[in-house]
Amino acid sequence: MKMASLYVEKESALHRTHPINKLYYIMAAVLIPLFISNLYVTVGVILINLTLLSKGRVFRRMLPLIGVSLILMASILLVQGLFNPDNETVLLDVMGFRYYLEGFLHALSICLNLINIICAFSILVLTTRPSDLVESLVKKGMSPKIGYVFSSVLQIIPEMITSTGTITDAQRSRGLEMEGSLLTRVKAFIPLIGPVVMNSLLQTRERAVALEVRGFNSRTPKTFINQMEDGSHDRFIRSCCCVLVIAALVWRGFLWLR
């Protein structure tokens, strides 16, 4: 059975990049803006992420992930602009509600970091097969059991979406009203969520049986079909990412001492 994932099958240099390199890049892309705490740096890293996503031809597949977080970002902008304890400069005054500049800038920093994190992780999940990522981590010494858990986390959301879509179509074919008023949607929730949960439990059992048949718990050293060896350029990329993170941390420490 083909496992569902967010991975998009494309031919690009980003898809061919070693999964471990992408993990190091995510570390650098997320931590550097957090350590430096500068809006321009955060925007710069976001632009780099967007460029990589465009080069990997998965830019459009990243947009729904941003869309999911828009409500959260809107609430952050609203709450911080109104109630941040550092608020002093009034930016807007509408019907007695004062929206402050300090809260807006703080909220903007949070939202930009959130967008940066989503873009950085999109580079990994949209251009890397979960199996390749887990296999690379296991080769580096990670426990296969932890690798399986990690792989399941990457696959659980797309699998639930696929399962929900299939069950929704099946319930509609049986005459169940799935759209309409709020009351109609609430009535349709239980007939929908029940099969989704049961299907997830059945899939979990099937995976457990399949793993046991394939000797997952065997202590015998494992072999791998794909042989992705580290080259000198891979080590160079990882070293650069680590150096940049350390430099950003040193810069943050320097600012604290001033």
Q: pLDDT tens for residues 187-231?
A: 677 777 777 777 777 777 777 777 666 666 666 666 666 666 667
Task: Evaluate if residue 154 carries a pLDDT over 70.
Answer: no
User: Do residues 49 and 55 make contact, with C-beta atoms less than 8 angstroms apart?
Assistant: no
| 20-24, 151-155, 249-253, range with greatest mean pLDDT | 20-24
Q: Is residue 159 part of a domain?
A: yes
Task: Evaluate if residue 74 carries a pLDDT over 80.
Answer: yes
Task: Evaluate if residue 72 carries a pLDDT over 70.
Answer: yes
Q: Is residue 7 part of a domain?
A: no
Q: Is residue 3 part of a domain?
A: no
| Sequence-distant (≥ 6) Cβ neighbours of residue 107 within 8 angstroms | 76, 77, 79, 80, 81, 84
Q: Is residue 4 part of a domain?
A: no
Q: Is residue 6 part of a domain?
A: no
Task: Evaluate if residue 2 carries a pLDDT over 50.
Answer: no
Q: What are the angstrom distances between the C-alpha of 111 and each of 33, 46, 104, 107, 225?
A: 12, 12, 10, 6, 41
Task: Evaluate if residue 55 carries a pLDDT over 70.
Answer: yes
Range of 134's domain?
13-217+235-257
What is the pLDDT confidence band of residue 234, given thresholds at 50, 70 and 90? Answer: confident
Instruction: Report the pLDDT value the prediction gives residue 3, as an integer from 0 to 100.
Output: 47
Task: Evaluate if residue 21 carries a pLDDT over 90.
Answer: yes
Q: Is residue 229 part of a domain?
A: no
Q: What is the mean pLDDT of the chain?
A: 82
| 60-69, 115-124, 155-164, 232-241, range with greatest mean pLDDT | 115-124
Q: How many domains does the chain have?
A: 1
**Angle (deg, nearest 10), helices 19-36 and 101-127:** 170
Instruction: Tell me if the pTM is above 0.85.
Output: no
Q: Is residue 207 part of a domain?
A: yes
Give me 49's structure tokens: 């992420």
